[in-house]
Structure 1
Amino acid sequence: MPLPADACAEGEAAAASRKTEPDFHLTDSASVHPADIAAHLENLSLEGQVSALSRMSTEDAAEVLVELDESVAVDVLESLDRDMAAQIIAEMSPDDAVDVLDELEDEHRDALLDKLDREDSEELRTLLNFDPDTAGGVMNTEIILLETHFTVDEAIAHIRSEMADKESPYYAYVVDSQHILMGVLSLRDLMLAKPGTVVGEAVAGQNVISVTHDTEQREVASLLSHYNFLAMPVVDTEGHLMGLVTYDDIMDIMHDEASADMLGMVGADPEESVDTPWVESVRKRLPWLFVNMLNSTLSAFVVYMFEGSIAQMATLAVLMPMVANQAGNTGQQALAVMIRQLATDRFDQKKAWMAVLREGKIGMVTGLVMALTAFAGAGFFTGHMGMGAVMGGALLCDMLLGAVAGGSIPLVFRALGRDPAQASSIFLTTITDGAGFFIFLGMASLFLL
């Protein structure tokens, strides 16, 4: 996209541009992709970002705003003149506009919506009412519709006339007079069809794959991946076409979900980022840290139970963390695989628990290998083959337990209606540490003392 020559603020913006990569100037007349401009602007101060966007055309500013990090885009939009901010919102596709508007304060959002024309304002208000974690919350309503009586030639002419105001169409959607989705035609289908073919006949008997507006984002992502679609139509309960979810939106969703799962596993808030105020981060993290401390108390209590055994054989204190650590890693591997599977695939109950059984088999075999290694290593290190046998046995039991626990915890959380990833790592560590210490110290007390 060619950037207007006056697109960048003077002073700070120009100075910052010399420090960032890729090394280009926003004042260049050459074509620069909006994503590159956005990456450049994110290195400027808020004043520099606002000044730069203010000097762009409304269309260019809208394309760049979409590419900015969401928190940055919100700050910029709140700082812009409201008339200009409303013009930028009007240029954005509805789904992108809703993503930004949803993060604004209610008063500011309403003020911007009031400045739009009635049709755009009502459309965005409707989309804002959908749950942002559903298909309705991310769908784009700017779609190309074909009526069933159109011929192929009329359909192509219609698409050509509509393309200027729509995102690049992957598919054209055939609807009847009641706006009910009858079928989907790709651009390739239209180009290869014989002239004069009626699109209603071309889609007759077609098994249309679609989702309802209340379908969860993860389910939409799973279906798009399963069918290798570039877009998924969204319908209401009666089959009326409402919009579509495009592949680029789903990519963003999958990225956000993966980040949320990673943060959730360790008890951090899924919405937290480096831009989150540190006081807010403290408030969100402390509850899970207290939970972790409580869980750690259980492990400490187990060690306290065997205080006498440790006093008689100090080597136990040296080796027991290895047992717990190895089992913890085994459990984390199973946990990561299970959470990834739940995030990307539709998982029925039978398949889910078969996956747990699979993790148990893996834990058994890897535990056996590591147990034999520990038997030889600990026996050689301590000069006591009995110690090696105890450590190997404890390692096998705890690694098997860790694998099964790592596979099961996300399923239990999901059955309870909780996020499968939320703080799962904390609870897994409690199980592997507590059980590992108990098994190892218990076996040592029974067989060695």
Structure 2
Amino acid sequence: MTRQRALIVDDEPDIRELLEITLGRMKLDTRSARNVKEAREWLAKEPFDLCLTDMRLPDGTGLDLVQHILQRHPQVPVAMITAYGSLDTAINALKAGAFDFLTKPVDLGRLRELVATALRLRSADSEELPVDSRLLGESPPMKALRKQILKLARSQAPVYISGESGSGKELVARLIHEQGGRSEQPFVPVNCGAIPSELMESEFFGHKKGSFTGAIEDKQGLFQAANGGTLFLDEVADLPLPMQVKLLRSIQEKAVRAVGGQQELVVDVRILCATHKDLAAEVAAGRFRQDLYYRLNVIELRVPPLRERREDIAQLTEVMLKRLAEGPGLSPARLDSEALDKLKSYRFPGNVRELENMLERAYTLCEDDRITADDLRLADACGTSENGDASLAQIDNLEDHLEDIERKVIMQALEETRWNRTAAAQRLGLSFRSMRYRLKKLGID
């Protein structure tokens, strides 16, 4: 069986020898180059499965080599070796397309983990992900999104996934994880807005028995649970500022310390994050740390809202209705042409999640497995025009209309915080007592 091959590029003989010995023990064949010119010559002569390159080289930089490999040998992952503390340099390398980075002096355990992850990457023979029931759509924005997911899956760079509520940000994060070298390791999603602030440090980093009242045993944190895999921070803008400081340090040091613990634990975690808020605006308003923003937003991936890909609605509805009919004795419903036209002209503030909820309700109410425009109840769903203004013809009673709006807003906050009432109240700027009163008044259980 042909052994996998790595190209090592560094002008320091000691570093080259250290890397050759370590990779040789991992059963890899290695080739060494002292500069960019020699590296290009090796790449032209032989195929490689991995490249490790220093940033500073006699005739150029590691970034020059990254760009050359991306253009000529895009299937080869490139890891950058940078000086200790050169975080800006490492981030620039990731933005340029490097797979990951190491700092000098090279930690051999970290090196072995990086190499193993790089070699697990799937060969990118196809240009985009196969279309399945989770990421549907043939519109230009969706085709572009699938291509971006495949590229990002071949990197270890932190990714900031932006998009409106209900647009599918967690699904995109899962696909990045599943298509990458960490696919066999854990994917751990966490909704940052659903964790009470006083429990955040324990939830993220774990705690030791007796470290605080109620800590009756050691507990593993989310970072430890995701070790070797991916940690997805959903609604990251909801993190309080003190927790942002601790999160930044853990990401930079690649280590965590449990509450009440004395030693730091090294963790190998890829960070993906998302929020429906404008994170740059949160930074400008002083609610989100700029240094953490730059650390998380190495690469931004935007998930398009449903109204920007209306041509996908027919395919989405067909698949969703088939899924609703998967129970015993159920038959799939169909949309009549008028109902489909109504959906295509609707603004969908709740995006794909709203479409799914709307179809589930219509499927329950329709007759003879035929969904009409009336079954969709679009007037009830929005009560607004395309511009978001309520039509007076649709309002019979102002108090009832305002209650409907309040109910929808509260339900959305509860869904986004996975029915954590405390977190939902914080998101809406309400006290818990006020939230409890409104839930009782509106009949929300």
Q: Same fold (TM over 0.5)?
A: no
TM-score range, shorter chain: under 0.3
| TM-score, scaled relative to structure 1 | 0.28
Larger Rg: 1
More helix, by proportion = 1
Q: More strand by proportion, 1 or 2?
A: 2
The TM-score, its normalising length taken from structure 2, stands at: 0.28
